[in-house]
Structure 1
Amino acid sequence: MAFLTEWFWFFLFLPLAALSGWIIGRRGGQRHGDTQVSRLSSTYFRGLNYLLNEQPDKAIELFLHIAELDKETFETQVALGHLFRRRGEVDRAIRLHQGLVQRADLSDAQRVQALLALGEDYMRSGLLDRAETVFTDLARIDQRAPQALKHLIGIYQAERDWEKAIDNARRYEEVTTEPMGKLIAQFECELAERHRTANSVDAARAAVARAYQADAGSVRAGIIEGRIESDAGNSEAAIRAFERAARHDPDYLPEVLPSLLAGYEQVGDLSGARAFLSEMCEHYRGIAPVLALTRLVERQDGVAAARAYLARQLKDRPSVRGEAALIDLTLAEGADASATLHDLKHITDQLLVRNPSYRCTQCGFGARTHHWQCPSCKEWGTIKPLLNYAVV
């Protein structure tokens, strides 16, 4: 892989070196140009020889020398900075790109390119404050600098400055026409969670409303709204919010079920809970609504009815968690095979402990607890409960 990378840079610098010689020849006269072209060619092929002998450091030094022979080789110097950054030599990339930014002879497009490269150097080195300054300046210089805005969004996400992340996401959407509603809704939900934690109920509700404006189908906004109303004692409003979230994306049903069922308990509407769970069993392939409905059947109709219902359901949707629940019900009935069932129960419980409960649909990251932003690929709203996961 490293060898192929060096060949990539070989083919990159070949036309750039030739172009440098052509420029020199045009500007300084044919004879002087021929001399410079010869020097560039000699230096270039020495660098190629270093690459072939797996001496990339010496090759880089020579390619840098090519750039120094003619200050107009802007693209060559930018490419060298990218090479330094890719190799982890961020300090050298920063020095090179700083030198470019300070040049007075750059065109506006070149200055934007140099600033963008410098900001990316700072990001790579973890100097987010400097990167923020560069990208902010760049956005002022060029109002249509989408890459700078995108980097600013990433910086403000890392700093958890959600207001600025929202502002830059909206600007990015205006510049590129790329829809940013779902991402903006996630940022608004972060604000809502912050306000909810601080007991600022009105501010939390306002943030949820803005999240819905950005993404009318935001599941997270529905979940947060349900929790806000539940905390405030508005059980019926909480039920509506949780049901809205579950209907929009049934994959999140396991996330809302405990709070949703608690809301039904508060208002004393177990028949409503059974009706909703029956509806979800038709639309959700996982085991969560089945297990929740089994608990309600057990409470209202007894253990035998619950065990019979669950056994029927497991024929169509086999599940380790469903098996564990069926074992519990069988043990509660006092069946003769208690000893065997106890052993099977122990094995099943061990399997459940080792399995992740959530998985990222983007990168496959597995987790025991839910994250709205994947710790691995950093995508938002991609971690969902596994189909056979349920907390009821």
Structure 2
Amino acid sequence: MLELLFLLLPVAAAYGWFMGRNSEKQKELKGRASVTKNLSSGLNFLLTDQEDKAIEQLLQLLDVEAATIDTYLALANLFRRRGDWDKAIRIHEKLHQLKLPKQQAQKIQFELAKDYFSAGLYDRAEPLLSALVQAESIREAVLKQLFSLFTATHEWQKAMDFRAVVEQTDSRSLRIGVANFSCEAWRKEPVPSDAYRQLIQRYPVSLRPKYELAKKLIAEEEFIEARELLLAILQQRPQWAAELLPLVQQTKPEPAEWQTLLTELSRKHKNISAIAELAQFYAQGENLQQAENLLTDKLKQQPNIRLFLKFIQIRRLQNPSEPHLAEIEQMVQAYLDTKVLYHCRNCGFKTKQPYWLCPSCQQWETVEPMTGIDGR
């Protein structure tokens, strides 16, 4: 009898182990069923437009199921895109309270900062973003968001304080942004020319420091350096000829130098403004036929309304008594007056006046002169 008892002991132990394991499985299954039920309930609230109840239901699950964070991030981003910033903030704040791996926690903090920014809560967004600029994986995106904040608040000096961090990235747009922040800060407090020279040397990709220094030097009658700066900008962006050529003229270039510049821009870059100015140069030298021939050849190669207008003006000089040319010139000019002159290469925003900062996408130095049949 005692021997039989000893034989049954292993069986009893095995049975106890099996039942205990089964009990754990039952608890796990019940827990999953509860989560599934709550999740289904939350989704049902969403589908029936009861969003507040849905958020409450879904946020309760975060304490149970932290593994579904990506789903919550997607939901919060959906609310933010719809303009429901308070709902997005509630979700991201709840996620921000969880103990998560560092990289995931940084991502959530960044999303929360974007919520605050979208809601206009800049004082809450700034410290969250400033704490993330050393996070290498998202540094560039964080800096761009931070610069958007400083642009909105016109806190140019704060942006300039991040120059060293910007130079740890490969971002061209961030460097252009920093250069423009400096120029904005100096609009109220004039600085020596050397400050612009240092800025140009530090951020050669930006056009604005060259442009601002050139205007400053023209006012001071330092024409040679001003002309060099303007020519450097034309080398970078020949499409800006319509705005820059009048400034180059103010630097009093020699006639031969002026003609060479216009010829190069018209031949190499087929720039409309340069072609029109070259025709005007010939006309002023009483070479009206040469001006007309130039415009005729260019119009055949590159149809453009502004060149056609210049052609009419030259023809009027040749035939001042022609009655219909003045009327045609007025009609063409009235047509051109209705056309936008600039567009943003980043977002497509169109405008009649130039901006260093695109009013639509808030990017620096992306608004450029229009090209095409109405372009300059």
Cα deviation, residue 111, structure 1: 4.0
Instruction: Find the partner of 1:306 among 270, 291, 298.
Output: 291
Cα deviation, residue 320, structure 1: 1.0
Q: What is the TM-score normalised by the length of structure 1?
A: 0.77
Cα deviation, residue 108, structure 1: 3.9
**Aligned partners of 1:81 and 1:93 also within 8 Å:** yes
Q: Provide the rounded CA distance (Å) in 1 between the counterparts of 2:124 and 2:38.
A: 35
Determine helix, strand or coil for the equivalent of 1:326.
helix
Instruction: Find the partner of 1:112 among 106, 109, 115.
Output: 106
Instruction: Find the partner of 2:224 among 218, 225, 236.
Output: 236
Alignment of 1:115-134 (within 5 A): 115-134=109-128
Identity of aligned residues (%): 25
Q: Provide the rounded CA distance (Å) in 2 between the counterparts of 1:189 and 1:352.
A: 31
Q: Provide the rounded CA distance (Å) in 2 between the counterparts of 1:246 and 1:308.
A: 26
Instruction: Name the amino acid aligned to 1:282.
Output: R
Matched, 1:317 2:308: no
CA RMSD of aligned residues (A): 3.2
Instruction: Name the amino acid aligned to 1:225.
Output: L
Matched, 1:210 2:204: no
Cα deviation, residue 195, structure 1: 2.7
Determine helix, strand or coil for the equivalent of 1:301.
coil
> Residue 87 and residue 374 in structure 1: after superposition, are their counterparts in 2 closer, same or farther (change >3 A)?
closer
Q: Provide the rounded CA distance (Å) in 1 between the counterparts of 2:236 and 2:128.
A: 41
Matched, 1:224 2:215: no
Alignment of 1:53-92 (within 5 A): 58-67=53-62, 70=64, 72=66, 75=69, 78=73, 81-92=76-87
Determine helix, strand or coil for the equivalent of 2:368.
strand
Cα deviation, residue 230, structure 1: 0.8
Higher Cα Rg, which structure: 2
Instruction: Name the amino acid aligned to 1:212.
Output: Q
Instruction: Find the partner of 2:328 among 344, 355, 362.
Output: 344
> Residue 344 and residue 373 in structure 1: after superposition, are their counterparts in 2 closer, same or farther (change >3 A)?
same
For 2:175, the equivalent position in structure 1 comes to: 184
**Aligned partners of 2:106 and 2:132 also within 8 Å:** yes
For 1:279, the equivalent position in structure 2 comes to: 264
Matched, 1:152 2:146: yes
Moved over 6 A (4+): none
Matched, 1:380 2:374: no
Cα deviation, residue 71, structure 1: 7.0
Cα deviation, residue 323, structure 1: 1.4
Q: Provide the rounded CA distance (Å) in 2 between the counterparts of 1:336 and 1:318.
A: 27
Instruction: Name the amino acid aligned to 2:235.
Output: R
Determine helix, strand or coil for the equivalent of 2:311.
helix
Greater mean alpha carbon deviation, residues 149-158 or residues 126-135:
149-158
Instruction: Name the amino acid aligned to 1:213.
Output: R
Cα deviation, residue 314, structure 1: 2.7
Q: Provide the rounded CA distance (Å) in 1 between the counterparts of 2:198 and 2:137.
A: 29
Instruction: Name the amino acid aligned to 2:255.
Output: L
Instruction: Name the amino acid aligned to 1:191.
Output: S
Unaligned segments of structure 1, at least 5 residues:
1-25
Deviations 1:70-97 (A, max 9, x none): 2756726555544543443322433444
Instruction: Name the amino acid aligned to 1:325.
Output: K
Q: Provide the rounded CA distance (Å) in 2 between the counterparts of 1:218 and 1:93.
A: 36
Instruction: Find the partner of 1:35 among 27, 30, 36.
Output: 30
> Residue 193 and residue 329 in structure 1: after superposition, are their counterparts in 2 closer, same or farther (change >3 A)?
farther
Deviations 1:128-166 (A, max 9, x none): 1210012223447x5765243342232223333344334
> Residue 332 and residue 198 in structure 1: after superposition, are their counterparts in 2 closer, same or farther (change >3 A)?
farther
**Aligned partners of 1:119 and 1:135 also within 8 Å:** yes
For 1:326, the equivalent position in structure 2 comes to: 311
Deviations 1:270-309 (A, max 9, x none): 2221121112111122311111122222222254553444
> Residue 101 and residue 54 in structure 1: after superposition, are their counterparts in 2 closer, same or farther (change >3 A)?
closer
Instruction: Name the amino acid aligned to 2:125.
Output: A
> Residue 83 and residue 60 in structure 1: after superposition, are their counterparts in 2 closer, same or farther (change >3 A)?
farther
Unaligned segments of structure 2, at least 5 residues:
1-20
Q: Provide the rounded CA distance (Å) in 1 between the counterparts of 2:366 and 2:291.
A: 34
> Residue 93 and residue 358 in structure 1: after superposition, are their counterparts in 2 closer, same or farther (change >3 A)?
closer
Q: What is the TM-score normalised by the length of structure 2?
A: 0.79
> Residue 125 and residue 383 in structure 1: after superposition, are their counterparts in 2 closer, same or farther (change >3 A)?
same
Instruction: Name the amino acid aligned to 2:311.
Output: L
Determine helix, strand or coil for the equivalent of 1:359.
strand
Cα deviation, residue 35, structure 1: 2.3
Q: Provide the rounded CA distance (Å) in 2 between the counterparts of 1:99 and 1:56.
A: 16
**Aligned partners of 1:81 and 1:96 also within 8 Å:** yes
Alignment of 1:289-304 (within 5 A): 289-301=274-286, 303-304=288-289
> Residue 297 and residue 186 in structure 1: after superposition, are their counterparts in 2 closer, same or farther (change >3 A)?
farther
> Residue 277 and residue 106 in structure 1: after superposition, are their counterparts in 2 closer, same or farther (change >3 A)?
closer
